[in-house]
Amino acid sequence: MTSYVIAFDTATHTAAAEKRIQSLEPGKARKLLDSVWFLHTAKSGEQIYEHVNSALGAGDRLIVVESAGATYRDLLTPALELGKAGL
């Protein structure tokens, strides 16, 4: 299993992008900031990218980054929940 940070910028597809991220591993994706998510999964970064990208439109932005760890504060998801999710 690998940890990923997924971030996107979109003016009109926020709900669709969030649904795509959540559907990758139902109940396991964690929202860190408004358009930044964390996911611990067996899927590859390319699989994640293709899955989320299908919900975005022209001019939207997306990045999927493999994560080996993080230092953070004041996220939308409580730290305890992130620990259980693999971060």
pLDDT value of residue 83: 65
Say if 77 falls within a structural domain: yes
Domain that residue 77 falls in: 2-81
pLDDT value of residue 7: 96
> In angstroms, rounded to a whole number, what is the distance separating the alpha carbons of residues 39 and 24?
9
Collapsed DSSP state (helix, strand, coil) of residue 34: coil
Using the structure block, give the residue that is written with the tokens 């003016």.
11
Q: Structural domain tally of the chain?
A: 1
**Per-residue pLDDT tens digits for 27-73:** 899 999 999 999 999 999 999 999 999 999 999 999 999 998 777 77
> In angstroms, rounded to a whole number, what is the distance separating the alpha carbons of residues 59 and 49?
16
pLDDT value of residue 73: 77
Say if 32 falls within a structural domain: yes
Say what the pTM is.
Answer: 0.86
CATH of the domain at 67: 3.30.70.240
